[in-house]
A = this chain, B = another copy of it.
């Protein structure tokens, strides 16, 4: 899984039928220093993540392990909202500080 930040929303009316009801968020990945990378992924949100939150994005067939997603053509999913990231060099991220 990789760490990313919720940056926005992708809306589509014309899509593969099984994608109806799936919420697509644009997630910009975060470096090991906590900086935003130029790399992003449009991921299905299965945990109700909100703007600016740090999340864990799972890629590949793992994104279809969530109940009801087994046959959806999804290759990325948000599977966790991050509370804290603690490194040996100190705290990288604490949601309470970020949203206080």
Measured CB to CB, the residues of A under 8 A from B are 1-3, 7-16, 18-19, 24, 26, 28, 31-32, 38, 40-43, 46-48, 51-52, 56, 58-66, 71-77, 79-89, 92
Contact = CB atoms under 8 A, between A and B. Distances in A.
B32 A28 contact: yes
Number of copies: 5
Contact of A24 (B24, B56, B73, B92): B56
A75 B9 contact: no
A73 B79 contact: yes
A69 B42 CA distance: 22
Contact of A46 (B12, B16, B65): B16
B77 A8 contact: no
Contacts of A26: 3, 32, 85, 87
Count chain B CB atoms within 10 A of each CB in A24, A51, A60 and give the residue with the most: A60
A47 B65 CA distance: 22
A56 B40 CA distance: 13
